[in-house]
Amino acid sequence: MGLVEWGEDERKLTDRVSVLVGTDNGKYPSGNTLVVRGESECFVIDPSVDVVARGGAPIRVDAVLNSHAHEDHIAGNGLFSSARVHVHAADLPGVTSLDGLMDVYGLDGAAREGFSQVVVDEFSFEPRPDAEGFGDGDTFDLGGISIEAIHLPGHTRGHSGFRASSDVFFLSDIDLTGFGPYYGDAWSDLEDFEESLRKVRNEDAAYYVTYHHKGVIEGRARFLEMLEAFHEVIARRHDTMLGFLEEPHSLAEMATHRFIYRPHVETHFAESVEQRSAYLHVQRMLARGEAKEVEPGRFQRT
């Protein structure tokens, strides 16, 4: 595969690290792909649908790092068919097969069938049964620069960030948007996500890169400010759900009410995401004594 120049859409952060900026600054379904140039090898992190559309990257790609197994982050895995693929061991099933990816979301029935078609048609999904798993703290030596994997679960079981030299930290889907943290899949966990938000506060860098929307954030002070606002969305959602439970409701009724997506949003996974998110918050309410199950499957604020 030949090299593909990105021109002004390649933002250079250091002499070895740059960002291939996706459409609308990486707005979903696109994303911001990280490029790391070593003396012996070159890596891309999370090759986006824009990388696929353009037909490649401005480097010879020796390996692909996936931050986690979600359709938009693994779109280019098949494009770089001769490159190695690495993802956290906990998310390997979502990269090695289409069924494994659907299991990550927890979709079944018509939603599973419909979204399976979407990830193939719109995200160019190709299974990579040869993908290899990594763990927290594992390091990839590219020659003159290394990449360290930092496990930040919650979004998925294996969701990870990457430190590329002392200057750049790739946050992936800790994306610091006003939408807030996403923990609506079967392989998502609210408690793990909050712990990851606390953990990532300790990462010091000149540049923080999100996969979506915000893109490159310069300086630790700005990063911490945005991280705090991102984290606060969880508490706001929780309080809003508690208010809804002034009267008894089921998880299905909470999902229909919509606490995550706006009512007009129609996707194959919206109902599943609303149900899973409501479930996680209700479990937190029960553990804190904020709500009780007043009859089977119906919950009310205490």
CA-closest candidate to residue 160, choices 234, 79, 92, 232: 92
Count CB-CB contacts under 10 A for residue 8: 6
CA-closest candidate to residue 69, choices 44, 86, 51, 55: 86
**Cα end-to-end span (Å), the chain:** 61
**Do 63 and 36 meet the contact criterion of CB atoms below 8 Å apart?**
no
Instruction: Give the CATH H-level superfamily of domain 7-219.
Output: Ribonuclease Z/Hydroxyacylglutathione hydrolase-like (3.60.15.10)
Domain ranges of the chain: 7-219, 245-301
pTM, rounded to two decimals: 0.96
Alpha carbons 68 and 60: distance in angstroms, whole number: 22
**Do 49 and 29 meet the contact criterion of CB atoms below 8 Å apart?**
yes
159: region left, alpha or beta (phi > 0 left; psi from -120 to 50 alpha): beta
What is the residue-level pLDDT of the chain in tens, covering all 302 positions? 789 999 999 999 999 999 999 999 999 999 999 999 999 999 999 999 999 999 999 999 999 999 999 999 999 999 999 999 999 999 999 999 999 999 999 999 999 999 999 999 999 999 999 999 999 999 999 999 999 999 999 999 999 999 999 999 999 999 999 999 999 999 999 999 999 999 999 999 999 999 999 999 999 999 999 999 999 999 999 999 999 999 999 999 999 999 999 988 888 889 999 999 999 999 999 999 999 999 999 999 99
CA-closest candidate to residue 53, choices 134, 148, 122, 152: 122
Q: Which residues of 258-282 are buried (b: 16+ CB within 10 A; e: fewer)?
A: ebbbeeeeeebbbbbbbbbbbebbb
